[in-house]
Structure 1
Amino acid sequence: MKNILLSLLSSMAVFTTYSQNTLSGRITDRSTNEPLEQVSVYFPDLEKGTITNENGSFTIGKLPPGIYKVVASYIGFQSFTQNITLQQGKNRLNIALSPSAIEMEEVIVSTPFHKLQRDNVMKVEFAKIATLKSKGPPTLIEGIGKIPGVGVVSTGVGIGKPVIRGLTSNRVLVYTQGIRLENQQFGAEHGLGVNEAGIESVEVIKGPASLLYGSDAMGGVLYLNPEKFLTPNSTEGDVNLSYNSNTQGITSNVGVRSSGEKLRFLARAATNNHIDYTGGDGNKVTNSRFNEKDLKMGVSYQNTIFKSEIRYNYNQSNLGIPETIGTQTTSRTPELPYQKINNHILSSKSKIFFENTSLDLTLGYIGNFRKEFEDHHHDENETDPDNGEEEHSEAALDMKLNTFNYNILYLLPKWGKSETIVGIQGIHQTNANFGEEILIPDATTNDVGVLGTTHFHLNENNDFQFGLRYDYRKIAGKAYGILGEEGYIADLDRDFSSFNGAFGYKNNISKQITARINVATGFRAPNLAELTSYGGHSGANRFEIGNADLKNEQNIQVDLALEFQNEHVELFLNGFHNSIKNYIFIAPDGTFINQNAVYNYLQQDATLYGGEVGFHLHPHPYDWLHIESSYQTVFGKLNHGNPLPLIPANNLTNTLRVAFFNANSWWLRTNAFISLNTTFKQGKIGEFETVTPEYSILDAGFGGELKFMKRSMNINISANNILNKKYIAHLSRLKSDGILNIGRSVTLGVTILL
């Protein structure tokens, strides 16, 4: 007992000593030596920071000893980053920031070492959600589709999923709240399922990321960063409202954040409601209406050597599935067929700091409860006498997907100029059916993966990163139906495994030029639909037969990136070549069952290649003027057959943008843009696709930040498809029915900081 008390007292003494560690300093403008107020000073590894006062001074307390990266960032200045050694007691760091018209750099969190993009060996695209939303897209995924190299497979306006360099669905992994999002993403009509409220930014890894995330990341990763907790001893709230003229869409959310010395809290509630969208021909697309409700909450505790946060997100979506141009109405209630989705995301992230090392533990649960109501169940509809709306009580499809996942990462003690992380990741997933129809059987999936990755900083100009990973997946599915009859699914017991590696090299050829090369392998285990399908697919008028003997998809991708950047010009050139072994696709075999053509899941090697090129000019002395242009191209084909389906058409975007800042005016910031987006003819098409002609879309917008009665307010007005162009995107699932994409729309958005 005596020894235990002594140990506790020793631990308390160490903790007390650590809690007295501080970092103080002053931040100035390098060109004028004047102090800078409201500069963010932040430790990415510790997730701890503050802002400077009117004298440019800052103090951050209760810091653990060790070597940590500190980042100082402020709009209009180049971000500062440096590894510093925190000693016990008082530490000091003075920083001089250099003016720059280039947008402020952010810390990339989707890669393991949390560096600024210019320090990353792997190229990662970063975008703030507020910036994407200011361009007027009605949903989060439509906004993300504006990022070069990223597209959207859409079913109307309300349903969409990301396409990264020609790969989509189970080949692209989505992360939110630090955990992988599992929402039956194999389905063509299964969208992202995340509301933009409470999402601060998005990062896109355009290439195999299986080393970091395991199966399904062979095409890339979409990493959604939730809004941060506030700095200590502060409270704020905000109200956000927007209206879309085309869909009469009403979007609103309200949030509050409050932080003490150790305990922090945030909450946000949102609604999103749209009628059928109108195409460029003036006709409403029947049943493209959708609505959703969203709630996000989080609580965090942090002391000197330990921090932990718990976040919860509940999302309820009602999504109409458009099929034709029919009755013109302004109803906001989806009619048959439609989906009703309830999504629960619960995550826990904890980190323990040791001297020069740390341990991360992330746990997560996702409950995706999906129901689909179809036309042939109309006899079972009941009418609610109170509101006259049809209440569809019987679901054709009723699937409950429960996923538990874990991620444990340990940062080893630094050795020389290298940083190394080792870890173990895994999921336990169950799928259960309760509806009349079954797409995939009741099944259990278990994943486990072990990894190690090292970043080696040779000198100021040369960085290397390499790693290795092993994964094992086991899928056990239950038999369903009667052997020999339509809809029969045999039992399934398969396991898959794969070794994957990655190597990257970054070279600062000069102060302005950076070159990167990355070579990575990735894999994807076949999903349940590909392994077990046996039955008619009414939406596609075909009979699909799965293949229980399918092998892993395995790929190797080479990425090259070249960037030039000075104070007023940015240029980038990205290229990639992606070879995929055992690519899974579906094709007819020439036979028929119940008058439906039979389609089988097959495998064949495939190749994709292409890239992105662009520039950003803000000429001196007109730093308020921004001229931006980007071009993206992707080619994909089976090695012994046709072009791959769902390959985005080549695209060119040209934007003229202005941005002004006046700290002494009640109107603090002003921005405006006009953009011409040209999508070229897509003639290299898959076996079941049709040629898509060229089209151009003109967008424009205006916004600003102003002070009103000691409150800050942001106003944005954007107009999309100003010329009301009649067009159908190549990646629209409504293309086969000749249904147009959305016509002219004007969006008005207001954000009020309370």
Structure 2
Amino acid sequence: MKKYIIALFLGISALVQAQNSLSGKLTDVQNKALPGVSVYMPELHKGTTTDAQGDYSFKNLPNGNFRIAFTYVGYKTINQLVEKLSKNTILNIQMEESILEIDEVIVSTPFNKMQSQNVMKVEHESIKALQQKGTSTLIEGLATIPGVSQISTGTSIGKPVIRGLSGNRVLVYSQGVRLENQQFGEEHGLGLNDAGVESVEVIKGPASLLYGSDAMGGVLYFNPEKFADANTFKANFNQKYFSNTLGSNASVGLKTSTDNWKFLARGSYNTHSDYKMGNGDRVTNTRYNEKDFKTGIGYSNTAFSTVLRYNYNKLDLGIPEEGIAEQTYSKSPEFPRQGVSNHLLSLNNVIYLGNSKLDVDLGYISNNRKEFEESNDPSLDMMLNTLNYNAKYHLPKLGKIETIVGIQGMHQTNKNSGEEYLIPDATTNDFGVFGTANYEWKSNVLQAGLRFDNRNLKSLAHEAEEHEEEEEHEDHDHEHHGGDFEALNRSFNSVNASLGYKTNLLQTLVLRANVASGFRAPNLAELTSNGVHHGTNRYEIGNANLKNEQNLQTDLNLEYKNAHFEFFVNGFYNHINNYIYAAPTDEFVEDNVVFDYVQDNAKLYGGEVGLHIHPHPLDWLHFETSFETVTGKKDNGDYLPLIPANNWNNTLRTEFNIKKWLKEGFASLNVSSTFNQNNVSGFETSSDDYTLVNVGLGGTVDLGKLVFDVNLNANNLFDKQYISHLSRLKTDGISNIGRNIVLGLNFNL
């Protein structure tokens, strides 16, 4: 078999050898040269910047069709498709001035269009923009995006929520591969550090057509840090300080590239004490420490492009169980605590076949989650190893029709080594095959796709050790033996489709309409649970007969943009068959209420609306306001659990320069109002409304030889004492974090 594969690759290389080059000049509408324009070829991970005469060039390019992004502050972004490169291709670009937001190329959708050309509405945010808001963690920054929230446990653990769906219903992609880290648990965090991440794209709605099971609620797609421009070397150091947790976050990185080779590496260390509430008390054992290391090496020539990346993340965090106890500044977690280590290895390849190409992404994730109750011998020790693959073949373009077909899957094993078992040892195998096509004419785009998936899940039987004494309880009719699991062998199939249409109703008015189905196979916890789930104070009983969750969502997006303001409105209706949830029973086990996993049809609906005013010629002034709402109900009219409260967010931002020593300066005032949440499920309590005020100030300081970025933020400026509806500490009456002053510095060395 290996001989055939080697022969295939040698044959492909012989077919596609080329010595193509691309060069050109960037000018404005008056034909004046534009120096400093960013020119980037995403597929090849190649970038450069125009020189003083506005010229750029690339060498050693393969045959084929490529998209090239031209980005320059104050000008419209151009995403140009270059077809059939030759040995000396010339591409001159004339850029138009624009005070609108930069139009980004979207990577998470199949055809890598710019957002203005995309059929799906995808939220794109740079990590730099999120960091300028002064948030403590990556998930806290994501929660500022309309339609995104978080289920939090203090400041160390955050679980993404997209339009009311969370856990296994939201898929996370990092380095181009699916991230698997026991995400079924509410007390399991995102497992990613923002250092070494360029940007995030949020698909709000079913993306099963692209990503398979578990993308039913949406996708968080993290784009890794770009390599350096060709023949350059860059290094930087950044440091952030957090007043509330006496926290520190330090990161140092370096990167260099030649015409063909690329390399980068970045190390980070994050440490925090217990967080302080608005009343001055610290919440015991919410401290945590995080180490993160990312590196990557890339090579591209005339035949192919390949990038190998590695990410190691180690998180040591306390589990808050005592509430407000000993007040200390210690950064060493007490018992009980978690230790989570994660290895992520990805190999991203593009093979060029003339007018077509093959994308192959391979990923290996090793996630080890340990929980220590009273000693350094873990009571819970779970090892999750996942190998996943994703191959997409881009067919030759047929007129105006672009087509992609592909296969996708994963092989996953879960192994327990501790005394306690949350879920049994198990093996999961996924396989999916899909096809999607994009047809574009004038200002209209039509996109459709179809996909089939199979998931096979096998678990081993396990019998927990019997205790010498078993207490009898009159409150339940039968005995439960925590940690006992029966063998399981289930297979789940699903067929899904999507249809989307985008058109310009006017030159400044865009309409998008999407209908898509999605699915999620029940996870191991839902199928097999038999014990007290940590942090929930409830005894959970799985259901081995659960069916697939299957949903159908309709999305409408309307956007208006002119020189003075932008307006958008997003509406969605999501119907879910066989929605899985844990429902309380009348039984008790050792003072814990017994919850059974059951299914019911459900619906979620709502959306986001927003306005961005930037009056011309006062281009330095920005006012943004947005409102988001979601309602979740079962078919019987009862509300679904863990639905975020409505939120109204307002930001006033100014941009300025001060002589030559401060560039790209900004000052912002943010007022975020969260409404009360009275639409709660049977075992939840309602939550009060609250308003938080945040301010920020920053820019690039240029002192000649010393140049650095600085931002100073004060979040929850008035030290408001409040409790988020999605806080897991809410049941104990523990408030969220109080005032937090954040100082961030970034030095390009």
1:666 paired to 2:661: yes
User: What RMSD, in angstroms, separates the aligned Cα atoms of the two structures?
Assistant: 1.7
- 1:297-376 superposed matches below 5 A: 297-323=295-321, 324-374=323-373
Offset, 1:523 = 0.2
Offset, 1:51 = 1.3
Asked whether the equivalents of residues 278 and 720 of structure 2 are also in contact (C-alpha less than 8 Å), the reply is yes
- 1:524-535 superposed matches below 5 A: 524-535=520-531
1:743 paired to 2:741: no
Asked whether the equivalents of residues 43 and 305 of structure 2 are also in contact (C-alpha less than 8 Å), the reply is no
Matched to 1:466, the amino acid is A
How many Å separate the matches in 2 of 1:43 and 1:543?
Answer: 53
How many Å separate the matches in 2 of 1:251 and 1:10?
Answer: 49
Hey, what does 1:579 align to over in structure 2? 575
Matched to 1:261, the amino acid is D
Offset, 1:484 = 6.8
Asked whether the equivalents of residues 722 and 744 of structure 1 are also in contact (C-alpha less than 8 Å), the reply is yes
How many Å separate the matches in 2 of 1:519 and 1:67?
Answer: 30
- 1:227-626 superposed matches below 5 A: 227-323=225-321, 324-374=323-373, 378=374, 392-457=375-440, 459-481=441-463, 485-537=481-533, 539-626=535-622
Deviates more, 1:586-595 or 1:34-43: 586-595
Asked whether the equivalents of residues 336 and 373 of structure 1 are also in contact (C-alpha less than 8 Å), the reply is yes
Hey, what does 1:59 align to over in structure 2? 57
Closer, same or farther: CA 641–10 of 1 in aligned 2, 3 Å: closer
How many Å separate the matches in 2 of 1:417 and 1:444?
Answer: 43
Deviates more, 1:565-574 or 1:605-614: 565-574
How many Å separate the matches in 2 of 1:731 and 1:327?
Answer: 25
How many Å separate the matches in 2 of 1:119 and 1:712?
Answer: 37
Offset, 1:93 = 1.7
Asked whether the equivalents of residues 12 and 353 of structure 2 are also in contact (C-alpha less than 8 Å), the reply is no
Q: What TM-score does the superposition give when structure 2 sets the normalisation length? A: 0.95
How many Å separate the matches in 2 of 1:9 and 1:122?
Answer: 38
Closer, same or farther: CA 155–117 of 1 in aligned 2, 3 Å: same
Counterpart selection for 2:190 from 189, 192, 195: 192
Deviates more, 1:140-149 or 1:45-54: 45-54
Q: Secondary structure at the match of 1:509?
A: strand
Matched to 2:703, the amino acid is F
Q: Secondary structure at the match of 1:603?
A: strand
How many Å separate the matches in 2 of 1:598 and 1:430?
Answer: 28
- 1:70-219 superposed matches below 5 A: 70-219=68-217
Q: Secondary structure at the match of 1:62?
A: strand
Offset, 1:661 = 4.8
Q: Secondary structure at the match of 2:233?
A: strand
Matched to 2:405, the amino acid is V
Hey, what does 1:696 align to over in structure 2? 691
Offset, 1:69 = 2.3
- Kindly provide the CA deviation profile for residues 359-414 of structure 1, in whole angstroms up to 9, marking residues without a partner as x: 1111110000010112xxx3xxxxxxxxxxxxx32111100000000111100011
- Kindly provide the CA deviation profile for residues 562-608 of structure 1, in whole angstroms up to 9, marking residues without a partner as x: 00011231110000000000000111221233443221100000000
How many Å separate the matches in 2 of 1:104 and 1:701?
Answer: 22
Asked whether the equivalents of residues 682 and 691 of structure 1 are also in contact (C-alpha less than 8 Å), the reply is yes
Deviates more, 1:589-598 or 1:695-704: 589-598
How many Å separate the matches in 2 of 1:487 and 1:146?
Answer: 39
How many Å separate the matches in 1 of 2:667 and 2:724?
Answer: 26
Offset, 1:540 = 2.9
Deviates more, 1:204-213 or 1:706-715: 706-715
Asked whether the equivalents of residues 395 and 435 of structure 1 are also in contact (C-alpha less than 8 Å), the reply is yes
Offset, 1:135 = 0.8
Asked whether the equivalents of residues 64 and 86 of structure 1 are also in contact (C-alpha less than 8 Å), the reply is no
Offset, 1:706 = 2.4
Closer, same or farther: CA 13–688 of 1 in aligned 2, 3 Å: closer
Q: What TM-score does the superposition give when structure 1 sets the normalisation length? A: 0.94
How many Å separate the matches in 2 of 1:551 and 1:593?
Answer: 27
Asked whether the equivalents of residues 44 and 107 of structure 1 are also in contact (C-alpha less than 8 Å), the reply is no
- Kindly provide the CA deviation profile for residues 135-177 of structure 1, in whole angstroms up to 9, marking residues without a partner as x: 1111111011110000000000010010000000000000001
Hey, what does 2:476 align to over in structure 1? none
Asked whether the equivalents of residues 44 and 114 of structure 1 are also in contact (C-alpha less than 8 Å), the reply is no
Offset, 1:191 = 0.2
How many Å separate the matches in 1 of 2:457 and 2:516?
Answer: 26
- Kindly provide the CA deviation profile for residues 413-466 of structure 1, in whole angstroms up to 9, marking residues without a partner as x: 111101111100000000000111100000000000001011111x22110000
Asked whether the equivalents of residues 619 and 625 of structure 1 are also in contact (C-alpha less than 8 Å), the reply is yes
Offset, 1:476 = 0.4
Q: Secondary structure at the match of 2:302?
A: coil
Closer, same or farther: CA 590–256 of 1 in aligned 2, 3 Å: same
Closer, same or farther: CA 14–542 of 1 in aligned 2, 3 Å: closer
Hey, what does 1:652 align to over in structure 2? 648
Closer, same or farther: CA 563–146 of 1 in aligned 2, 3 Å: same
Matched to 2:556, the amino acid is L
Matched to 2:320, the amino acid is P
Q: Secondary structure at the match of 1:232?
A: coil
Asked whether the equivalents of residues 711 and 753 of structure 1 are also in contact (C-alpha less than 8 Å), the reply is no
Offset, 1:9 = 12
Offset, 1:14 = 6.7
Hey, what does 2:474 align to over in structure 1? none
Q: Secondary structure at the match of 1:728?
A: coil
How many Å separate the matches in 2 of 1:114 and 1:711?
Answer: 38
Asked whether the equivalents of residues 45 and 114 of structure 1 are also in contact (C-alpha less than 8 Å), the reply is no
Closer, same or farther: CA 273–12 of 1 in aligned 2, 3 Å: closer
Asked whether the equivalents of residues 562 and 573 of structure 1 are also in contact (C-alpha less than 8 Å), the reply is yes
How many Å separate the matches in 2 of 1:721 and 1:555?
Answer: 38
Asked whether the equivalents of residues 75 and 103 of structure 1 are also in contact (C-alpha less than 8 Å), the reply is no
Asked whether the equivalents of residues 64 and 352 of structure 2 are also in contact (C-alpha less than 8 Å), the reply is no
Asked whether the equivalents of residues 65 and 85 of structure 2 are also in contact (C-alpha less than 8 Å), the reply is no
Asked whether the equivalents of residues 270 and 293 of structure 1 are also in contact (C-alpha less than 8 Å), the reply is yes
1:25 paired to 2:24: yes
How many Å separate the matches in 2 of 1:650 and 1:87?
Answer: 51
Q: Secondary structure at the match of 1:66?
A: coil
Offset, 1:219 = 0.1
Counterpart selection for 1:43 from 41, 55, 79: 41
The list of structure 1 runs, each at least 4 consecutive aligned residues, that deviate by more than 4 angstroms after superposition, is 7-16
Q: Secondary structure at the match of 2:527?
A: helix
Matched to 2:311, the amino acid is N
Offset, 1:86 = 3.5
Offset, 1:492 = 0.5
How many Å separate the matches in 1 of 2:258 and 2:57?
Answer: 16
Closer, same or farther: CA 205–280 of 1 in aligned 2, 3 Å: same
How many Å separate the matches in 2 of 1:693 and 1:544?
Answer: 29
Closer, same or farther: CA 635–15 of 1 in aligned 2, 3 Å: closer
- Unmatched 5+ stretches in structure 2: 1-7, 465-478
How many Å separate the matches in 2 of 1:571 and 1:97?
Answer: 24
Q: Secondary structure at the match of 2:140?
A: helix
Hey, what does 1:734 align to over in structure 2? 729
Number of aligned positions between the proteins: 727
